[in-house]
Amino acid sequence: MREFAESPQVAKYDATKGGHFAWHSDIGHGLAAGKRKLTLVLQLSNPDTYDGGDLEIRPSAQIQMANRAQGSVSVFPSFALHQVTLIKRGIRRSLTVWAHGPAFR
């Protein structure tokens, strides 16, 4: 791990707008996005204020659900598939930070 080459990203999932994020990996094609190694997601919202909107991570065959507690951080390899399920009530906010480094070998 050598750097944090991108600005943190705040995401908002709003039940009135069908907020969700389909299964994906965070390895992108851009200069920085292609060097992502670790993804860190901070839960910004009180879990009592929304339903659904769960961060699910699939580092292997088994799906893991991220801790919903406000202030908790989930860390996973950026290549791991993950999604945010449809939010059914309220608003969830998250802050995502990526750590970067040379290609995996």
Ligand X SMILES: O=C(O)CCC(=O)C(=O)O
User: How far is residue 36's CA from residue 33's CA, in Å, rounded to a whole number?
Assistant: 5
Among 26, 43, 53, 98, interactor with Fe ion by CB under 5 A: 26
The vertex-57 CA angle with 53 and 63, nearest 5°, equals 100
Nearer to ligand X, 64 or 96 (CB): 96
Report the nearest approach of Fe ion to the CB of residue 24 (Å).
6
Cβ 83 to ligand X shortest distance, Å: 8
Q: Is 6 in the site for ligand X (CB under 6 A)?
A: no
Q: Residue 93 forms beta bridges with which residues?
A: 12
Comparing C-alpha atoms, which of 43, 78, 85 is closest to residue 59? 78
Could you give the CA distance from residue 38 to residue 74 in angstroms, rounded to a whole number?
Answer: 10
What are the residues binding Fe ion (CB under 5 A)? Answer: 26
What are the residues binding ligand X (CB under 6 A)? Answer: 9, 11, 21, 26, 41, 55, 82, 84, 94, 96
